[in-house]
Amino acid sequence: MDPIRRLGRPALGSPRAVLAFEGWNDACDAASGAAAFLLGQFEAEPLATLEPEDFYDFQEHRPHVQIDDGGTRRLTWPDTRLTALHPGERGTDLVVVTGEEPSHRWKTYTRLIAGLLAEADVEMAVTLGAFIGQVAHTRPVPIVGVATDPALLARYDLPASTYEGPTGIVGVVHEACREVGIPAIGLWAATPHYLAANPSPKAMLALLEKAGEVTGVAVDTTELATAAAEFEARVDTALERNADFAAYVRQLEDESGVTPVDPASAGNLLVSEIEEFLRERD
């Protein structure tokens, strides 16, 4: 069975692609949240989906049962969606790729996506990712980049990531794009390890603003900026109530670097305290 289910062939003018996947690449839901916000901004047309059978372990990515207004039960399966966006006067057309990081056959999966992008004449692919870092929520969100051509990083004033180690699906997407001749650039946001259990609207905002710069699309981020400011205010309130936590954040403010960390290995007590406070405020 062909895993590609084609849903439409909209006319696209010099499109660029934005790709984000839930899972390992998506600390604090920053990448998937940024893509979801982007999808709500412009006129959208479905392009294609990838059927999940070949790519997911359904014991890890279980289908969900939903009941509609008429009482009919339906299954929703994990899938990968390609959607065309038409920003009109606000920028070039986009192809947005969203889904969960697959369990199996990563080479086949990413080559199918790259092939669909090539069919749509995508000129550049922009992947979104986020990692847990030793950074403070009070500072601007650090964004580092990776690219199939290092010159792209210089063009968009992005510091190069120095990370070496295990990679997620976006790293394999870059290789698949390289194979079909599509330049790819990856944007990675660093999120505070002590807020690892919470979605980060501030990191979503930073990724969207940089993605907008790279793609040339003007995204109205007013709503997201408001959400980011409100969340930061809640964390600041927690800071005022815990002298140890406030001192720890001040220490992070004085440090530099965006090295990924394991949130379980740093500040366990402080992490649990801030998470408990934020749950109480929800």
pLDDT range class, residue 193, cuts 50, 70, 90: confident
% of the chain surpassing 90 pLDDT:
63
> What are the tens digits of pLDDT across the range 220-248?
999 999 999 999 998 888 878 878 778 88
Specify the CATH class of 4-281 in words.
alpha beta
pLDDT of 69 above 70: yes
pLDDT range class, residue 269, cuts 50, 70, 90: very low
In this prediction, residue 267 carries a pLDDT of 46
Look-up of token digits 């259990």: 197
pLDDT range class, residue 278, cuts 50, 70, 90: low
Instruction: Kindly state the average pLDDT of the residues 48-76.
Output: 88
C-alpha–C-alpha distance, residues 2 and 14, integer Å: 27
Instruction: Output the pTM of the full model.
Output: 0.89
Q: Over the chain, what is the mean pLDDT?
A: 89
In this prediction, residue 281 carries a pLDDT of 54
pLDDT range class, residue 164, cuts 50, 70, 90: confident
Instruction: Kindly state the average pLDDT of the residues 78-84.
Output: 94
* SS3 per residue for the chain: CCCEEECCCCCCCCCEEEEEEECCCEHHHHHHHHHHHHHCCCEEEEEEEECCCCCCCCCCCCCEEEECCCCCEEEECCCEEEEEEECHHHCCCEEEEEEECCCCCHHHHHHHHHHHHHHCCCCCEEEEEEEEECCCCCCCCCEEEEECCHHHHHHCCCCECCCCCCCCHHHHHHHHHHHHCCCEEEEEEEEEHHHCCCCCHHHHHHHHHHHHHHHCCCCCCHHHHHHHHHHHHHHHHHHHHCHHHHHHHHHHHHCCCCCECCHHHCCHHHHHHHHHHHHHHC
In this prediction, residue 256 carries a pLDDT of 59
pLDDT of 277 above 70: no
In this prediction, residue 265 carries a pLDDT of 47
In this prediction, residue 116 carries a pLDDT of 97
Instruction: Sheet containing 184-192: give its strands across.
Output: 4-6, 43-50, 80-86, 94-100, 16-22, 125-133, 184-192, 143-147
pLDDT of 33 above 90: yes
C-alpha–C-alpha distance, residues 242 and 139, integer Å: 19
Instruction: Kindly state the average pLDDT of the residues 259-266.
Output: 52
Lowest mean pLDDT among 87-96, 173-182, 190-199, 254-263: 254-263
Query: CA dihedral in degrees (27, 213, 156, 124; nearest 10)?
Result: 80
pLDDT of 275 above 50: yes
Lowest mean pLDDT among 114-123, 138-147, 261-270: 261-270
% of the chain surpassing 70 pLDDT:
90
Domain ranges of the chain: 4-281
In this prediction, residue 195 carries a pLDDT of 87
> What are the tens digits of pLDDT across the range 179-191?
999 999 999 999 9
C-alpha–C-alpha distance, residues 249 and 254, integer Å: 9
pLDDT of 11 above 60: yes
In this prediction, residue 251 carries a pLDDT of 83
In this prediction, residue 252 carries a pLDDT of 83
